[in-house]
Amino acid sequence: MEAQDRIVDARWRRRARLQLDPVKGKCVFAAEAIAAGDVIGYCDGPELDRDTVHSIHLGGKRIDPSEPFRFISHSCDPNAEFRDKGNWLHALKEIAAGSEITIDYLHTEPRISAPFLCRCGAASCRGMISTPANEAAAPRRSAAR
Ligand SMILES: [Zn+2]
């Protein structure tokens, strides 16, 4: 990590923190009120050569993200986004202190390493979170449930 990146990291670290949710496990929460459009933090990490459950595509690279963003949850109606799929996480809407920070995994990921059933509760919830690449890799035997 470059010295300049370390300064950037320290500057924004206080805005988001890791917190243990009894049901979901480690999640990212707002440590203070964050206005819509504001920078929440900077996420970087070592480049990976394959997808993992935590990997994320930022700045044109697949990386193993640094904490706390390593544990950011998905929502189909997220309150944050890595703008232009770069390393800076921005608030999409006002985020109250103490509320969870979420992103839409499908915004950055060309392929979801482990498709999952979303329980975000949003009216626009997509249900199963997967990508066309998942379908190609593991075609479903039947569409029936
Ligand atoms: Zn959802």
How far, in Å, from the CA of 120 to the mean position of ligand 1?
A: 4
Architecture of domain 3-109 in this structure: Beta Complex (2.170)
How far, in Å, from the CA of 122 to the mean position of ligand 1?
A: 6
Q: Which residues surround ligand 1, an ion (CB under 5 A)?
A: 76, 118, 120, 125
Q: Mean pLDDT over all residues of the chain?
A: 88
Residue 106 in contact with residue 59, Cβ under 8 Å? no
3-state secondary structure of 127: coil
Q: Which of 101, 115, 112 is nearest to 62 (CA)?
A: 112
Q: Which pLDDT does position 14 carry in this prediction? A: 81
How far, in Å, from the CA of 48 to the mean position of ligand 1?
A: 27
Q: How far apart are CA 33 and CA 36, in angstroms?
A: 10
Kindly state the average pLDDT of the residues 79-85.
Answer: 97
